[in-house]
Amino acid sequence: MRLTHEEIRLFRHNGFLKLKDRLPEETVGRLKEAIWKDIQAEVEPVVRDREGRVVRLSNLLDRDPVFQEVLTGPTVLDPLESLLGPNIVMIKNRHNHATLRTASVNSDKLHRDMLQWTRDIVTVLFYLEESTLEKGCTQVIPGTHVLPWSDGLYNIVKEDWVQQSGILDQTVPVPMPAGGLLVIDSMILHGAGQNTTSETRISMTAGYHSVDELAETPSPKVHLARGQFIYKGNDNYN
Ligand SMILES: O=C(O)CCC(=O)C(=O)O
């Protein structure tokens, strides 16, 4: 479903938006099945916790076809088209992963996903299980996507000007249902809370941007998700 003008405005202003549409239960089931299969078989590339257990599957696009079906499907791309236009790529070398959050996994500290707003992307979180406060739902600090440059995705929260600004007290939790999608401007300060339950919280994360109209050759690190590659460079100075 396309976004309304008000939703677009809220996204630009606040830096995040919960989408109205959810993934169907059947699709969520297929995704979870594919995730558990690769976790149990420890199919690389993976990230492990301190005990060596697999807690993240990287490179989702090259795994079971269900991932490409959903990460480049209409539930996510229809609303993204309202933000990014008709030509959209999914990035292969940022996110493109599924995360298993258990009680043993530390919370994910507040961070940005990109350093520079001219290289900003839209990050989408796909929740495959309910994400509650107790299960360490995503937290955001609204409006922080427009704060200045910082030399580090995680360092920003340690910087004096951020510590003294009072903005860290403005962190808000964003609980989401199973199948829910949260769209964030990747410059917004965000992170996962601590899962204090004995249940898991599984989610997928993917990054998107508009086709780069000044890149003559598309980067091999992007996957064309919708539309076409376009080139609008003025090499002939006209
Ligand atoms: O799971 C979350 O709440 C945050 C995830 C995140 O920041 C990421 O996957 O990069």
Tokens for 97? 């992963």
Residues framing ligand 1 (Cβ under 6 A) = 95, 99, 108, 125, 138, 190, 192, 203, 205
Give the pLDDT confidence of 159-188 residue by residue, as tens digits.
999 999 999 999 999 999 999 999 999 999
- Classify residue 131 by its DSSP letter: B
210 has pLDDT over 70? yes
CA-136 nearest atom, ligand 1: 3
Class of domain 5-226: mainly beta
Q: How many CB atoms lie within 10 A of CB 200?
A: 17
Beta pairing, strands 201-210 & 88-101? antiparallel
Q: Any idea what the Cα angle at residue 33 is, between residues 186 and 54, rounded to 5°? A: 65
Q: Is the pLDDT of residue 154 over 80?
A: yes
Going by pLDDT thresholds of 50, 70 and 90, the confidence category of residue 107 is: low
Residues 6+ apart with CB under 8 A from 53: 104
Q: Mean of the pLDDT values across residues 223-236?
A: 95
State the angle between helix axes of 5-14 and 74-84 in degrees (0 to 180), rounded to the nearest 10. Answer: 80
> Across residues 18-44, what is the average pLDDT?
98
What residue segments make up the domains of the chain, in order of their start?
A: 5-226
**pLDDT of 150:** 86
Q: How far is the CA of 153 from the centre of ligand 1 (A)?
A: 13
Tell how far the Cα of 164 is from the centroid of ligand 1, in angstroms. Answer: 25
Q: Which residues pair with 89 in a beta bridge?
A: 209, 224
Distances (CA, A) of 228 to 31, 38, 74, 154: 27, 32, 16, 34
Nearest atom in ligand 1 to 139's CA: 3
Binning pLDDT at 50, 70 and 90, where does residue 103 land?
A: confident
HEC assignment per residue over 139-179: EECCCHHHCCCCCCCCHHHHCHHHHCCCHHHHCEEECECCC
